[in-house]
Structure 1
Amino acid sequence: MFSLQNKTALVTGGASGIGLAISTAFAQAGASVHILELNTDQAQKVADELNAAGGRVQAHAVDVSKQADVRAVIDQIAAEGPIHILVNNAGIAHVGNAETTTEADLDRLYNVNVKGVYNCLHVTIPHLKANGGGVILNMASVAATVGIPDRFAYSMTKGAVLTMTLSVAKDYLKHNIRCNCISPARVHTPFVDGFLAKNYPGQEAEMFAKLAATQPIGRMAKPAEIGALALYLCSDEASFITGTDYPIDGGFLRLNN
């Protein structure tokens, strides 16, 4: 089950954190994986490691906020064969409320988290249509659904990802394109470790425990758990699923009472 043999998948931000877990799961399931990544050295390192383990992975230098860059790379991939899966995972975070978020902060978050998703959708969907269909998976967040303290700009962008998902799912039903999104709660990624080291030096363990405890299940998610859900939603076993947001949150949305 959940085979991606003979499938070609694009994974933005696929060289670290959740994106790395998705790239790994897809490669292990037999997909030809194209990592679209701003950090090209890290992307190539990941590609080399996955290929050494028997995968078929290529790394591409892409700034998703620049449509011309996105088009050049995706059109080149499409010229080599059909694209079947797009995972819009690339994103950046920000801490701040409506007063402390600067215009530059807002623009930076928008350009990557919203415009970047749009750019990849805009360029990839015509290829999926030409190939008779495909799957799109967007990375949203629990912040798209509930209020999270000091996440004004981030929540704005993830709310946009959620509603873009619904719009694309509705518009492309007739083209056999499924579109869903995943909404993780806190996931233990290198970003979390870096954030704690920067903002709570000497208190990392204490603050990590506090953040983990906000999930009723008592811990943060592992990136591989998000990767497993992504694999299912992009597989043929999920062929009846479209226009749906999948919280993977340790009970965060429903059990925090």
Structure 2
Amino acid sequence: MLAKIDDLDLTTLAKKLDDLGDVTTAKFLDDFGEISSDGLKILDKKPNLIDHWKKHKQYFLDKEYSAPNDLDIDQIYNSLSEGSKKEMVKRVNEALPPFKDGSFVISGGYHSKLDDFVIKNNIPKVDGIKNEEKFKKLVEDLEPELQEHIEYLDFIREDYKAHKALDQTSKKGVFNKLLNIAKGKENKLIQAGKPGSHAEVQVVNEIIKKLRQKGEQINLEEIFLYVKNKSNRNMCRCPNCFYILKDKVKMIGNE
């Protein structure tokens, strides 16, 4: 890898590694051993991602992303006691695809301090070079509680995409050491789309904004989320949403 960094003339990244010290550099070379050239170029532009790795590595490893199967929406609805959470699930279940802008996933959120539910759909078409500005604006609009891991997750996904572009059967990438993803679920990293663009994150973001406008204290564990896909099934979170939200919010039905 060090030779590749020199060949690509990634001077910022080379200096960052020099500053890490021998022990941390050895850990870096082990964790990032399968990185693509595209991934190295991202690190050269954003060396702060290495600091993120140092600080948050265990956060991404301490709970496995298993991508459980979709659940029946009627079963979820019937399992809930009467009240606001059940009414919110009913509202989401009644929404029929396709949703706004051609999205096929919709999510609802509930917080006891708000007067109404928040319902949002995925934001499509933020992937790829042509949509970099759209993605940048999307991230900038996220509240601080949700921005923390976005760049890091996007880097991991872009690295995996680079490997796939060279070899469709590839399972190489930094995700192998940086994320705890169940075997056979790796491709969900690509299928997921850009981190922060999905309905559940957009719902939580809107709830945080509304709570701040009311002068309320922000406690993500008081937010309840429910997600439905185009097949009218209660779907699980993608890897990005899983790591952005993790145990910070309460999922209704599928996690």
TM range (shorter): under 0.3
If each structure's strand is expressed as a fraction of its own residues, which one has the higher value?
1
What is the TM-score with the length of structure 2 in the denominator? 0.24
Q: Which has the larger radius of gyration?
A: 2
What is the TM-score with the length of structure 1 in the denominator? 0.24
